Amino acid sequence: MAYTAEGGAIRDDQFFWDGLKEHRLLFQQCSDCGTVRHPIEPMCGNCGSLEWGTMESSGHGTVYTWILSHHPNNADDVPPRLVALVNLDEGIRLVSNVAGVEHDAMANDIEVTVDYYDRGDGVFLHRFLPVDSAAGGN
Ligand code: ZN
């Protein structure tokens, strides 16, 4: 099942951005062998199928590795910020920002969960929060 849009060009990654707006983290999943993949690709790397659908991630994972970035993305960014490679439970590795963690407390293997925010122009982005913080802390 390919994702289609009304009118205009069909963007392979439109489902991903629409999902973020609905606070859902969606990935491509091969319709033939079930392999989940990211970034978006036209063909399954496992079986070569061109047929795909989407699956919703739990948004739960652990930090695989991270950096403290001092490079501002936007003029109003307040650097530095934590950028991590997150191992999601579904086997996807996703680059994202991490919020809610003191820089000194950041570490590999901390448990994180996805969070969504409007960057200010109606485009929603993902970021990750430590599970302790997301659950209200303790
Ligand atoms: Zn496949």
Is the domain of 64 the same as that of 129? Answer: yes
**Would you place residue 7 in the very low, low, confident or very high pLDDT band (cuts 50, 70, 90)?**
low
Is the domain of 33 the same as that of 97? Answer: no
Residue 137, pLDDT score? 42
Give, as residue ranges, everything with CB less than 5 Å from ion ligand 1. 30, 32-33, 35, 44, 46-47, 49
Is the domain of 16 the same as that of 80? Answer: no
Question: How many domains would you assign to the chain?
Answer: 2
Is the domain of 28 the same as that of 79? Answer: no
Is the domain of 29 the same as that of 12? Answer: yes
What's the average model confidence in pLDDT over 66-84? Answer: 84
CA of 90 to the centre of ligand 1 (A): 15
Is the domain of 74 the same as that of 116? Answer: yes
CA of 27 to the centre of ligand 1 (A): 14
Q: Which residue has the tokens 């950096």?
A: 67
Region of 77 (left: φ > 0; alpha: ψ -120 to 50; beta: rest) is: beta
Radius of gyration in angstroms for the set of CA atoms belonging to the chain, rounded to a whole number: 16
Residue 38, pLDDT score? 94
CA of 76 to the centre of ligand 1 (A): 42
Residue 6, pLDDT score? 54
Is the domain of 31 the same as that of 84? Answer: no
CA of 128 to the centre of ligand 1 (A): 28
Condensed to tens digits (0 to 9), the pLDDT of residues 80-100 reads 899 999 999 999 999 999 999
Is the domain of 130 the same as that of 66? Answer: yes
What's the average model confidence in pLDDT over 4-27? Answer: 83
Provide the residue range defining the domain that includes 33.
Answer: 2-56
Is the domain of 49 the same as that of 77? Answer: no
Neighbours of 66 (CB within 10 A): 21
Measure the CA–CA gap between 44 and 36, rounded to whole angstroms: 9
Residue 115, pLDDT score? 97
Is the domain of 107 the same as that of 79? Answer: yes
What tokens appear for 64 in the block?
């695989």
